């Protein structure tokens, strides 16, 4: 059977989530780069719109089916490859993990992602204004997340096992750093992020290790 295909962009935090999950599950995949910037964005060209009509990455093609949306892709991987698990068995812990994922995937990322909001908010004309907008929403979300994590975290977001919540956290912290959010306000998030960055599955998924990362940005 042919390898699954991941349509990804090295800087995309949603693709980054799926890269981490695939690494944790040990799934070998073919990486297909979709440059979101070049020539008005390859995601808007017909050949990619036919893969994902939302014109976004990631898209994951497996067994002849195309899945989009990073969270359902992770849920699929969890069901297909149950070990190591990225969702706890216990219901409340499992709900906690999903809550943290939602805060990031619905409450923060869509507000700071380039096409969905920034390019449409016409008042934000300069790059600086767009960056301020993104920073505002990340800050607001991280204030809530820090409070949630104070209660739920151990070594990682929920207890001491790596879960989907951690997979969502690291790319969002990556975006926060890109937009120069002052991370010293968020000691719990920062501590968990530091722990996670040491893990091979996370290290390998870093934007700076991807085949489409320009040479001058590589770690
Ligand atoms: N809910 C989607 C969001 C996907 C998304 O926002 N992808 C961004 C990159 S992180 C994108 O492709 N943006 C396209 C653009 O900027 O035009 C998911 O979790 O997969």
Instruction: Give me the pLDDT at residue 129, please.
Output: 82
Enclosing domain of residue 149: 91-202
Give 95 Cα–ligand 1 centroid separation in angstroms. 24
Task: Assess whether the C-beta atom of 172 lies below 6 angstroms from ligand 1.
Answer: no
Express each pLDDT in 183-205 by its tens digit: 999 999 999 999 999 999 999 99
Task: Assess whether the C-beta atom of 69 lies below 6 angstroms from ligand 1.
Answer: yes
Q: Do residue 188 and residue 101 come from a single domain?
A: yes
Answer yes or no: is 166 within a domain.
yes
Answer yes or no: is 219 within a domain.
no
Answer yes or no: is 213 within a domain.
no
Q: Do residue 107 and residue 78 come from a single domain?
A: no
Q: Do residue 79 and residue 130 come from a single domain?
A: no
Question: Which residue reads 């216990």 in tokens?
Answer: 90
DSSP code, position 154: S
* Contact predicate 58/72, CB 8 Å: no
* Contact predicate 78/89, CB 8 Å: no
Q: Do residue 24 and residue 75 come from a single domain?
A: yes
Pocket test for ligand 1, best of 17, 19, 57 (most atoms within 8 A of CB): 57
Which atom of ligand 1 lies nearest, measured to the CA of 13?
Answer: 10
Express each pLDDT in 142-176 by its tens digit: 999 999 999 999 999 999 999 999 999 999 999 99
Cα separation of 145 and 62, whole Å?
A: 33
Give 57 Cα–ligand 1 centroid separation in angstroms. 5
Total Cβ atoms within 10 A of residue 217: 11
Q: Do residue 176 and residue 119 come from a single domain?
A: yes
Express each pLDDT in 58-106 by its tens digit: 999 999 999 999 999 999 999 999 999 999 999 999 999 999 999 999 9
Express each pLDDT in 26-58 by its tens digit: 999 999 999 999 998 999 999 999 999 999 999
Instruction: Give me the pLDDT at residue 122, please.
Output: 64
Instruction: Give me the pLDDT at residue 202, please.
Output: 98
Cα separation of 59 and 216, whole Å?
A: 27
Which atom of ligand 1 lies nearest, measured to the CA of 113?
Answer: 6
Answer yes or no: is 71 within a domain.
yes
Count of domains observed in the chain: 2
Cα separation of 61 and 39, whole Å?
A: 25
Task: Assess whether the C-beta atom of 41 lies below 6 angstroms from ligand 1.
Answer: yes
Which pairing describes strands 30-33 and 59-62: parallel, antiparallel, or unpaired? unpaired
pTM: 0.95
Task: Assess whether the C-beta atom of 58 lies below 6 angstroms from ligand 1.
Answer: yes
Cα separation of 111 and 109, whole Å?
A: 5
């Amino acid at each position: 059977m042919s390898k699954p295909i991941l349509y990804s962009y090295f800087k995309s935090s949603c693709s980054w989530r799926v890269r981490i999950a695939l690494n944790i599950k040990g799934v070998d995949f073919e990486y297909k780069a979709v440059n979101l910037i070049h020539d008005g964005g390859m995601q808007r060209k017909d050949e990619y719109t036919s893969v994902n009509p939302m014109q976004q990455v990631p898209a994951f093609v497996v067994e002849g089916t195309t899945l989009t949306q990073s969270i359902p892709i992770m849920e699929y991987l969890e069901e297909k490859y149950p070990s190591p698990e990225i969702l706890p068995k216990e219901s409340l812990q499992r709900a906690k993990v999903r809550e943290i994922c939602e805060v990031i995937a619905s409450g923060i990322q869509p507000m700071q992602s380039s096409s969905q909001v920034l390019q449409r908010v016409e008042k934000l004309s300069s790059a600086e204004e767009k960056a301020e907008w993104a920073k505002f929403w990340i800050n607001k979300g991280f204030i809530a997340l820090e409070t949630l994590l104070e209660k739920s975290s151990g070594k990682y977001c929920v207890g001491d096992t790596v879960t989907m919540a951690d997979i969502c956290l690291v790319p969002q912290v990556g975006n926060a750093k890109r937009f120069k959010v002052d991370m010293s306000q968020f000691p719990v998030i920062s501590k968990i992020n530091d722990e996670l960055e040491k893990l091979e599955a996370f290290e390998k998924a870093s934007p700076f290790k991807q085949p489409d990362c320009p040479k001058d940005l590589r770690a």
